[in-house]
């Protein structure tokens, strides 16, 4: 590009200052607080070194499980939302009747409030009177009726399933846009060459939809690592000690009980994890792009 | 290469976004400014806002079941009389404590907030001297029952106003007609209680309605810890001075073990983990369940759920865990506090004054089944024969841990989570007790309690 046509660097200064003051600086201060005994019970602040990090990594605590839960939630929901979203996108780019109605129905959960969805599903998944178990019993599948949100084996899976149901329509919509941008010329040429449906998907659709999939993956990973409202509304981290606890519900509770320092230490640990995840994701995404 | 740098910056920005919420614009050192005497804030900001009531809306946040329909009706009358509107914000009980403490700690609480009274936790948890308004000089303050006032006072000043009847205690409420039909007698120890449960279960009725999902109700069973106080009256003091622990206490170990046993034997049915407290009256009215741990207002509530179920068909006996036969009294209960950072302090004071008036207390007693004797000298008494019989049957009264042991009440929801894990088999009763010690130690350390140094 002609250098004289580039905007000067100071044009970005406004945005950079706002970003630095409102995001970067509080973030760094947050990391700083994780080395103190900051709490709601005392106005005094003391440096305690790595004490809070020792607590976070202690085998007596549940924090490692909470971090694992967060990463597991992110992995499972990202993979399944992408896979199911792609299948739905492929189906809903065909010539079928009431196409927009189908798309609208799948997309609709994404525009509903997560808290409302959580409360509705809490009722739907009630083991005794919930709609889901009642339906299973009414069609003779009573043996499949479970304690979806109050059993330690099923609760986390149920939370993830509801979240996937909520988010898959959004991912599908992005992927539909990606699919529609692929020129039909490729498919026509492939048909002339005798390619079957799977081969068209494998050698045309999939490579060309990859950049869009990379975008949806980033969106899902960011959402998954920051998930709060869905878990909060469905189980509030329970049943039991930390069955479905994720990072932000734990930080919220720590702040609620006034133990700010441990809360910030927990966030700092997640900060490091996010840097690694972020760099790794960006590297994969930009691997095949041409460098300037 | 530039793209890679940009990409790295992007990923950093995503991560920074995660942390941004953890910082605070004001350094902790600035906290004393927020803790300047509440009295200073009492007058200045409120004087211009609460005089006529024009366009003043006070916000009142409380846990589910703390604000009764009758109070909201009175709120409408209050608005008619003063022009001050009341915005009630009712929060699900399992989420209330976290939300309240976050709001208080962030300095963004509602004008009035509901909180459990306790002479210990209102200081260690709410820090009322900093976060609440001194109500000692309000016209109604002198009417508050002295025993309840103690639990709402710090440094000789009254900071809260009781909402509920604190004479009521958590006792086992039972279906009298069912007991008569099955020839059952009120149990006087745990073994007899198990016999009663077995006989009820044999009839195809679930003996006990329990609701773990609310997060707090099943913890009420631990009020049987009065048995530990009876075994050693100095035990609460030893706990408060960090000279004793929960772990290893014989009565407390028995109490949690028996509770787990009750769940394992099916006395609570299959759905106790997902049942909700709000459904208790209807569940008893339906005949599906025979007993529930409740306060002394269940009869009226069951009758409201099903008018064919007589109000006096509900009787009470004390929580029989650990063979307890003492009345577990607790002068602590949900109370109203005015947030010191409120801009509508005078309007909020007017609301509290209105709620403590003779007419309002009479209205609340008349219209809320579980309110028999609100803790005010100007409140009427409405004990039914069944309730009076219950209180007369247990002359021995012992204060519950919620009132007598430091850092127990603030850990209530965490103890609830531990007990939930115990029911699921993830923790043993001994581990629950150990964790309670840990939770108390964390609170004590955060509060710089000298006994824990």
Q: What is residue B64's three-state secondary structure?
A: coil
Chain A residues whose CB is inside 8 A of the B23 CB are 25-30, 33
Predicted local confidence at residue B64, as pLDDT: 85
Could you tell me where the DSSP H helices lie in B244-357?
Answer: 250-264, 280-285, 298-305, 345-355
Inside any domain, residue A40: no
pLDDT digits (tens, 9 = 90+) for A217-234: 989 998 999 899 999 999
Predicted local confidence at residue B31, as pLDDT: 32
Predicted local confidence at residue B147, as pLDDT: 87
Q: Would you tell me which CATH number, out of the four given (3.40.50.2300, 3.40.190.10, 3.40.50.970, 3.40.50.1820), belongs to the domain B46-166+332-375?
A: 3.40.190.10
Q: Of the given ranges (A94-98, B136-140, B186-190, B321-325), which has the lowest mean pLDDT?
A: A94-98
- By Cβ distance, the residue of B32, B424, B438 closest to A239 is B424
Confidence band, pLDDT 50/70/90 cuts, at residue A163: very high
Q: How far is B345 from chain A (nearest CA, A)?
A: 23
Spell out the SS3 assignment of chain A.
CCHHHCCCHHHHHHHHHHHHHHHHHHHHHHHHHCCECCECCECCCCECCCHHHHHHHCCCCCHHHHHHHHHHHHHHHHHHHHHHHHHHHHHCCCCCCCHHHHHHHHHHHHHCCHHHHHHHHHHHCCCCCCHHHHHHHHCCCHHHCCCCCCCCCCHHHHHHHHHHHHHHHHHHHHHHHHHHCCCHHHHHHHHHCCCCHHHHHHHHHHHHHHHHHHHHHHHHHHHHHCCCHHHHHHCCCCCCCCCCCCHHHHHHHHHHCCCHHHHHHHHHHHHHHHHHHHHHHHHHHHCCCCCC
Q: What is the mean pLDDT of residues A113-140?
A: 93
Contact status of B282 with chain A (Cβ, < 8 Å): no
Chain B residues whose CB is inside 8 A of the A240 CB are 417, 420-421, 424, 426-427
Look at residue A58 and tell me whether its pLDDT is greater than 70. Answer: yes
Inside any domain, residue A4: no
Spell out the SS3 assignment of A57-86.
HCCCCCHHHHHHHHHHHHHHHHHHHHHHHH
Q: What is the mean pLDDT of residues A37-41?
A: 80
CATH architecture of structural domain B171-329+387-452: 3-Layer(aba) Sandwich (3.40)
Which residue of chain A comes nearest to B2, CA vs CA?
A292
Inside any domain, residue A38: no
Q: Of the given ranges (A261-270, B75-84, B127-136, B303-312), which has the lowest mean pLDDT?
A: A261-270
- Which range has highest mean pLDDT (B5-19, B24-38, B307-321, B391-405)? B307-321
Asked, colleague to colleague, whether B46-166+332-375 and B171-329+387-452 share their fold, the answer is: yes
ipTM at complex level: 0.80
State in Å, rounded, how far the first CA of chain B is from the last one: 55
Tokens representing residue A79 in the block: 């993979």
- The boundaries of the domain holding residue A209 are 62-286
Q: Of the given ranges (A162-166, A253-257, B144-148), which has the lowest mean pLDDT?
A: A253-257
Q: What is residue A25's three-state secondary structure?
A: helix
Domain of A278, CATH number, reads 1.10.3720.10
Contact present, A85 and A216 (Cβ < 8 Å): yes
Predicted local confidence at residue A289, as pLDDT: 56
Look at residue B44 and tell me whether its pLDDT is greater than 70. Answer: no
Tokens representing residue B258 in the block: 């028996």
Predicted local confidence at residue B40, as pLDDT: 36
Look at residue B5 and tell me whether its pLDDT is greater than 70. Answer: no
Contact status of B421 with chain A (Cβ, < 8 Å): yes
Look at residue B1 and tell me whether its pLDDT is greater than 70. Answer: no
Cis ω before A239 (30° cut-off from 0): yes
Predicted local confidence at residue B23, as pLDDT: 43
pLDDT digits (tens, 9 = 90+) for B324-346: 999 998 888 899 999 999 999 99
Considering only CA atoms, which of B41, B37, B32 is closest in space to residue B349?
B41
pLDDT above 90 covers a percentage of chain B that reads 70
- The chain-wide mean pLDDT, for chain B, equals 87
Predicted local confidence at residue B58, as pLDDT: 96
Chain B residues whose CB is inside 8 A of the A22 CB are 20
Predicted local confidence at residue B27, as pLDDT: 36
pLDDT digits (tens, 9 = 90+) for A240-277: 888 889 999 999 888 877 788 889 999 999 888 888 88
Look at residue B238 and tell me whether its pLDDT is greater than 80. Answer: yes
**What is the Cα B149 distance to its own chain's centre?**
16
Residue A146: count of CB within 10 angstroms of its CB = 17
To test the contact with chain B by mutation, choose from A251, A282, A284, A287 the residue with the greatest count of B C-beta atoms within 10 A, namely: A282
Look at residue B29 and tell me whether its pLDDT is greater than 60. Answer: no
Contact B29 A43 (CB under 8 A): yes
Look at residue B43 and tell me whether its pLDDT is greater than 70. Answer: no
Which residues are CB-neighbours of B142 under 8 A, at least 6 positions away? B377
Inside any domain, residue A278: yes
Number of folded domains in chain A?
1
Inside any domain, residue A46: no
Inside any domain, residue A11: no
Q: What is the mean pLDDT of residues A208-215?
A: 91
Place of tokens 């916000």: B59
Q: What is the mean pLDDT of residues A151-180?
A: 95
Predicted local confidence at residue B325, as pLDDT: 95
Predicted local confidence at residue A47, as pLDDT: 92
Q: What is the pTM of this model?
A: 0.79
Predicted local confidence at residue B415, as pLDDT: 95
Q: What is the mean pLDDT of residues A15-41?
A: 89
| B110/B105 Cα distance (integer angstroms) | 12
Look at residue B226 and tell me whether its pLDDT is greater than 90. Answer: yes
Considering only CA atoms, which of B110, B115, B55, B121 is closest in space to residue B88?
B110
Spans of all domains in chain B: 46-166+332-375, 171-329+387-452
Q: What is the mean pLDDT of residues B81-88?
A: 95
Look at residue B36 and tell me whether its pLDDT is greater than 80. Answer: no
pLDDT above 70 covers a percentage of chain B that reads 88
Inside any domain, residue A12: no
Look at residue B76 and tell me whether its pLDDT is greater than 90. Answer: yes
Chain B residues whose CB is inside 8 A of the A40 CB are 101, 104-105, 127, 446
Which residue of chain A comes nearest to B420, CA vs CA?
A240
Q: What is the DSSP letter of A202?
A: I
pLDDT digits (tens, 9 = 90+) for B400-447: 998 889 889 888 999 999 999 999 999 999 999 999 999 999 888 877
Starting at the edge strand found earlier in the chain, the sheet holding B334-338 runs B85-91, B57-63, B112-116, B334-338, B160-162
Q: Of the given ranges (A62-71, A102-111, B51-60, B367-376), which has the lowest mean pLDDT?
A: B51-60
Predicted local confidence at residue B11, as pLDDT: 53
The total number of residues shown for chain B amounts to 453
Q: What is the mean pLDDT of residues B223-236?
A: 96
Inside any domain, residue A128: yes
- The chain-wide mean pLDDT, for chain A, equals 89
- By Cβ distance, the residue of B4, B10, B274 closest to A128 is B274
Q: How far is B436 from chain A (nearest CA, A)?
A: 13
């Amino acid at each position: 590009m002609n250098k004289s046509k580039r905007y000067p660097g100071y044009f970005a200064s406004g945005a950079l200052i706002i970003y630095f003051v409102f995001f970067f600086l509080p973030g760094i201060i947050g990391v700083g607080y994780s080395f103190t005994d900051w709490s709601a019970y005392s106005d005094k602040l003391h440096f305690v070194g790595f004490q809070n990090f020792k607590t976070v990594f202690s085998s007596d605590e549940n924090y490692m499980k909470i971090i694992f839960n967060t990463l597991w939630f992110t992995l499972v929901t990202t993979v399944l939302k992408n896979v199911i979203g792609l299948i739905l996108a492929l189906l809903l780019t065909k010539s079928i009747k009431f196409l927009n109605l189908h798309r609208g129905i799948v997309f609709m959960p994404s525009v509903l409030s997560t808290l409302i969805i959580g409360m509705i599903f809490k009722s739907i998944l009630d083991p005794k009177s919930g709609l889901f178990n009642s339906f299973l019993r009414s069609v003779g599948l009573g043996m499949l009726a479970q304690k979806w949100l109050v059993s330690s084996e099923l609760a986390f899976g149920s939370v993830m399933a509801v979240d996937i149901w909520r988010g898959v329509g959004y991912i599908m919509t992005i992927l539909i846009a990606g699919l529609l941008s692929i020129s039909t010329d490729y498919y026509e040429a492939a048909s002339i060459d005798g390619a079957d449906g799977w081969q068209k998907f494998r050698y045309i659709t999939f490579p060309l939809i990859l950049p869009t999939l990379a975008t949806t993956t980033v969106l899902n990973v960011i959402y998954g690592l920051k998930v709060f409202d869905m878990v909060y509304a469905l189980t509030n981290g329970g049943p039991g000690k930390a069955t479905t606890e994720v990072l932000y519900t734990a930080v919220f509770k720590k702040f609620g009980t006034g133990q700010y320092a441990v809360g910030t230490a927990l966030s700092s640990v997640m900060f490091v994890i996010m840097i690694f995840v972020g760099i790794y994701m960006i590297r994969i995404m930009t691997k095949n792009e041409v460098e300037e | 290469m530039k793209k890679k740098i940009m990409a790295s910056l992007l990923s950093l920005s995503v991560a920074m976004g995660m942390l941004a919420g953890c910082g605070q614009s004001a350094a902790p050192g600035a906290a004393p400014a927020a803790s300047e005497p509440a009295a200073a804030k009492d007058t200045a900001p409120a004087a211009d806002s609460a005089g006529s009531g024009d366009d003043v809306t006070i916000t009142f946040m409380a846990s589910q079941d703390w604000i009764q329909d009758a109070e909201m009706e009175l709120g409408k009358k209050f608005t008619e009389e003063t022009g001050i509107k009341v915005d009630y914000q009712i929060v699900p009980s399992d989420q209330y404590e976290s939300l309240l403490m976050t709001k208080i700690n962030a300095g963004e609480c509602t004008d009035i907030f509901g909180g459990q009274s306790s002479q210990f936790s209102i200081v260690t948890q709410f820090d009322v001297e900093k976060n609440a308004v001194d109500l000692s000089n309000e016209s109604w303050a002198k009417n508050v029952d002295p025993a309840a006032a103690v639990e709402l006072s710090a440094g000789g000043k009254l900071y809260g106003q009781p909402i509920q009847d604190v004479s009521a205690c958590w006792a086992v409420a039972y279906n009298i007609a069912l007991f008569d039909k099955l020839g059952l007698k009120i149990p006087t120890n745990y073994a007899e209680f198990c016999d009663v449960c077995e006989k009820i279960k044999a009839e195809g009725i679930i003996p006990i309605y329990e609701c773990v999902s609310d997060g707090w109700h099943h913890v009420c069973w631990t009020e049987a810890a009065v048995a530990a106080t009876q075994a050693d009256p100095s035990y609460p003091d030893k706990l408060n001075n960090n000279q004793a622990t929960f772990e290893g206490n014989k009565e407390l170990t028995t109490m949690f073990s028996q509770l787990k046993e009750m769940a394992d034997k099916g006395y609570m049915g299959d759905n106790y983990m997902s049942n909700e407290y709000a459904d208790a009256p209807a569940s008893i009215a339906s005949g599906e369940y025979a007993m529930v741990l409740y306060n002394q207002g269940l009869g009226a509530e069951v009758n409201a759920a099903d008018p064919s179920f007589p109000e006096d068909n509900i009787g009470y006996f004390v929580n029989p865990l650990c063979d307890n036969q003492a009345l577990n009294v607790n002068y602590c209960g949900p109370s109203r506090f005015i947030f010191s950072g409120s801009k509508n302090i005078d309007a909020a004071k007017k609301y509290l004054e209105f709620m403590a008036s003779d007419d309002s207390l009479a209205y609340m007693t008349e219209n809320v089944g579980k309110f028999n004797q609100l803790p005010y000298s100007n409140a009427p008494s409405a004990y039914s024969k069944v309730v009076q019989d219950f209180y007369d049957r247990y002359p021995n009264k012992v204060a519950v841990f919620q009132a007598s042991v430091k850092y127990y009440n603030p850990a209530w929801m965490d103890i609830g989570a531990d007990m939930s894990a115990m029911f699921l088999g993830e923790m043993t009763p001994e581990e629950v007790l150990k964790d309670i010690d840990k939770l108390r130690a964390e609170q004590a350390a955060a509060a710089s309690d000298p006994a824990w140094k």
